[in-house]
Every structure is written in C-alpha cells, then in structure tokens.
C-alpha cells in the first residue's frame, strides 16, 4: 500500500556565488546575475521521500511554485526518483510573501492524495523557514520541523528525531504529517543515468511554448497554440508532459495570492559590509567566550 509523499521544492539563486551584480539598485535580488539551483535542503527532503518509497512503497509528487525556468528542478527530481512533477506558474503569484506562498502551495497539495508532505527546512534565498510550518497549518495537519532522522514509520504513525538547537527531541505523531528536513538528515543521491535517459525530454507546457515561439518567430498566436497543443499531446502520450497548474486551476482566492495576499512589507534594505574596526578578536578561553556571549545577549543579537 505504501505512503504517498508530496515534496515541495524551490529553485533559488546560488547565494554562494554572489558577485557585485547580485543586487538591483532597488535592493531586490538580480536573479539573472546568479545561477539558479535546487534549494539544498529540498534535495534532502526529496531523498527522505525516496527512502520512504524504497522501504514502504508509494508515490512521490514534487511541486514547485516559480517561473517557467523552474521546470529544470522538476526534471532533476524525476532523475532522482520522483514519480510525478507539478509546476505552479502564474504571473499573479508574483510578489507573494511566505503567507501567500504557503496558501498557494496548500491549494496545490489539497489536489493530491498524500500521507506525508516534505519541505526543506529553509530556502537559501528567502531564508525564513516559514513556508513549511505555514503550509501544515493551512492543511490542518501535524508538523515536525528540523527533522534530522526518521526513526519509525508504521501503522500510519511516524517518529522523527528533531534538532532543537542544544539537543534533540523525539516526536511521534499520526499521519498525515508535514516534515521539514535539515541537511543532516541524509546524503542526497545523484541523478540516475537510466532516469536521465527516461525523462530528459520531459517538459512543461510553458517550456514547449517557449521553444516553439523561438523556432517560429513569424507564426501567429493561433498557429503557435496549435503547435503547442500537438507537441504537448505527443509528450503526454509518452508520459513526458510535466503538469502545469495556474491559480484558476487551483481555485485559489486571488485576494490571498501575490501582492494582495502578502502582508509583509519591505521598508528598507541595507547592504551591510563589516569594516575591520567592527570585528573583535576573542581569546579561545572560557571566560572570553562567556563575556562575548553575554555581550551578544545584552545587544539582543542572540536570545
Ligand atoms: P522558506 O520558508 O525558508 O522555505 C522552506 C521550504 O518551503 C523550502 O525548503 C521548500 O521546501 C518550501 N518552499 C518555499 N518556497 C517554495 C516555492 N516557491 N515552491 C515550492 N516550495 C517552496 N519571491 C519571488 O520569487 N518573487 C517575488 O515576486 C517575490 N516577492 C516578494 C515580496 C515580498 C514582500 C516578500 C517578503 C518576499 C517576496 N518573495 C518573492 C520571496 C518569497 O516570499 C519567498 O521566497 C517565499 O515565500 C518562500 O520563503 P522562503 O524563501 O523564506 O522559504
């Protein structure tokens, strides 16, 4: 019978390769200046799902909300063991904060028959770690965050070891559940050559359309539409058409999406460059480290 897993994955700019052009003048991220990658902890979430499937059976569906280019991480997921992939792409998703993002993702997850939802703990660009917990709340299911190990999965209940900063906690709950997975949970497997051969031509409808438009610059919209429908039909027959959903298909309340659904307001963005005088040498002994910790607590940098 197995467990059906839904894995939420996000394409992010590679923040390890930040250059001078990484930020726009208005303080927003210049995504075109940075290579786009699979959010690292989402690979751990996918690996956990693949291990669950290997041990118990079931089906893995990956979902991402993003621009058309995010199709590449969906293909990558198919190479690594996912069975089905969904791209949520819609101009009305733009400017969504974490609340709107988790609402839109919840509409998508509700369309799927699931037992376990897996997210990365945190995305390396937005960095909030809010989407997983908000999504569990919107689905009305239990959540276990900061998961480092899945210790038991049986009789429709799950036990996980979660990191609580200064130690670990074992939590048991019944399914359905949402887990947020940390990088310590496992070592993500590499793409399998056989699956690359099987899925390398898998495409979303928007990728099909972009290619057809590039190859037929003089064609009118009706011709493009017909060519896209034909190609998508061919891909579907071969099991290579990646699902693409928009907000209408999801039946989403538009007031909860995009800018109107996003209460977060960015008032000011500062580029912080630490000057030499702002750094401080700390002797590697207990009293110096204790003084530093007290100073950080007093300055409310740590709690
Ligand atoms: P986290 O909460 O750190 O992510 C945790 C996990 O949730 C991930 O590991 C992944 O498993 C899952 N997850 C997160 N995001 C997605 C996703 N999109 N699809 C599938 N799974 C996901 N971003 C834009 O790209 N375009 C915009 O126009 C835009 N406008 C914004 C406007 C405002 C005012 C704010 C505050 C943010 C905006 N963002 C925009 C950023 C966007 O809100 C966040 O990137 C997004 O909500 C996810 O939050 P996070 O990156 O902190 O993810």
DSSP string for 154-173:
ETTEEEEEEE-SSSEEEEEE
Q: With bands split at pLDDT 50, 70 and 90, how would you rate the model's confidence at 34? A: confident
pLDDT of residue 26 exceeding 70: no
Q: 140-162 pLDDT, tens per residue? A: 999 999 999 999 999 889 999 99
Minimum-distance ligand 1 atom for the alpha carbon of 100: 47
pLDDT of residue 29 exceeding 80: no
Measured in angstroms, how far is the CA atom of residue 213 from the centroid of ligand 1? 30
The better pLDDT of the pair 211, 15 is held by 211
The better pLDDT of the pair 238, 127 is held by 238
Give the pLDDT confidence score for residue 28 in this predicted structure.
Answer: 65
Regarding pTM above 0.85, the answer is yes
96 Cβ below 6 A of ligand 1: yes
Q: 223-244 pLDDT, tens per residue? A: 999 999 999 999 999 999 999 9
What letter would DSSP give residue 192? P
Measured in angstroms, how far is the CA atom of residue 98 from the centroid of ligand 1? 6
User: Which residue's CA is the nearest one to ligand 1's atom 43?
Assistant: 97
Q: With bands split at pLDDT 50, 70 and 90, how would you rate the model's confidence at 302? A: confident
Give the pLDDT confidence score for residue 250 in this predicted structure.
Answer: 98
Q: With bands split at pLDDT 50, 70 and 90, how would you rate the model's confidence at 33? A: confident
Query: What SS3 class is residue 36?
Result: strand
What mean pLDDT, rounded, does the chain reach? 93
49 Cβ below 6 A of ligand 1: no
Measured in angstroms, how far is the CA atom of residue 80 from the centroid of ligand 1? 23
Supply 60's token pair: 């893995």
What letter would DSSP give residue 27? S
Cβ neighbours for 119, distance < 8 A, ≥ 6 positions apart: 7, 8, 42, 45, 131, 132, 135, 178, 179, 180, 181
Cα–Cα distance measured from residue 9 to residue 118, given in angstroms and rounded to the nearest whole number:
9
Mean pLDDT across 198-220: 97
Phi-psi region of 81 (alpha: psi -120 to 50; beta: other; left: phi over 0): left
Query: How many whole angstroms from its chain centre is CA 238?
Result: 27
Task: Give the least confident one: 205-214, 265-274, 285-294.
Answer: 265-274
Measured in angstroms, how far is the CA atom of residue 225 from the centroid of ligand 1? 31
Q: Do 12 and 121 form a contact (C-beta atoms < 8 A)?
A: no
pLDDT of residue 92 exceeding 70: yes
Give the pLDDT confidence score for residue 243 in this predicted structure.
Answer: 98
Give the pLDDT confidence score for residue 275 in this predicted structure.
Answer: 75
Cα–Cα distance measured from residue 119 to residue 171, given in angstroms and rounded to the nearest whole number:
17
The better pLDDT of the pair 24, 211 is held by 211
Render the burial of 226-262: b for 16+ CB within 10 Å, e for the rest. ebbeebbeebeeeebbbbbbebeebebeeebbbeebb
Q: Do 160 and 143 form a contact (C-beta atoms < 8 A)?
A: no
In angstroms, how far is the first alpha carbon of the chain from the final one?
46
Q: Do 257 and 65 form a contact (C-beta atoms < 8 A)?
A: no
Q: What percentage of residues in the chain have a pLDDT greater than 90? A: 80
Give the pLDDT confidence score for residue 215 in this predicted structure.
Answer: 96
User: Which residue's CA is the nearest one to ligand 1's atom 7?
Assistant: 131
What pairs with residue 148 in β-bridges? none
Measured in angstroms, how far is the CA atom of residue 112 from the centroid of ligand 1? 21
Q: Do 103 and 257 form a contact (C-beta atoms < 8 A)?
A: yes
């Amino acid at each position: 019978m197995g467990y059906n897993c839904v894995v939420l994955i996000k394409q992010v700019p590679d923040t390890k390769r930040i250059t001078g052009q990484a930020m726009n003048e208005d303080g927003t991220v210049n995504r075109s200046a940075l290579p786009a990658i699979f959010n690292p902890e989402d690979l751990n979430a996918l690996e956990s799902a693949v291990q669950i499937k290997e041990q118990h059976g079931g089906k893995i569906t990956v979902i991402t909300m993003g621009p058309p280019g995010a199709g590449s991480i969906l293909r990558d997921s198919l190479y690594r063991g996912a069975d089905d992939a969904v791209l949520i792409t819609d101009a009305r998703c733009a400017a969504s904060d974490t609340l709107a993002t988790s609402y839109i993702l919840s509409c998508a997850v509700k369309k799927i028959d699931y037992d376990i939802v897996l997210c990365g703990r945190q995305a390396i660009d937005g960095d909030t770690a809010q989407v997983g917990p908000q999504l569990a709340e919107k689905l009305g299911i239990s959540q276990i965050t900061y998961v480092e190990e899945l210790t038991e999965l049986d009789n429709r209940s799950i036990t996980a070891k979660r990191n609580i900063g200064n130690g670990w906690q074992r939590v048991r709950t019944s399914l359905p559940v949402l887990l947020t997975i940390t990088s310590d949970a496992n070592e993500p497997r590499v793409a399998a050559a056989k699956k690359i051969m099987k899925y390398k031509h898998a495409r979303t409808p928007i990728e099909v359309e972009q290619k057809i438009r590039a190859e037929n610059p003089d064609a009118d919209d009706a011709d493009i539409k017909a060519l896209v429908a034909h190609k998508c039909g061919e891909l579907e027959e071969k099991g290579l058409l990646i699902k693409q959903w928009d907000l209408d298909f999801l039946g989403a309340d538009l007031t909860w999406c995009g800018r109107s659904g996003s209460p977060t307001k960015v008032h000011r963005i500062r580029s912080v460059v630490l000057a030499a005088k702002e750094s401080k040498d700390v002797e590697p002994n207990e009293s110096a480290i204790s003084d530093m910790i007290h100073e950080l607590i007093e300055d409310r940098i740590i709690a």
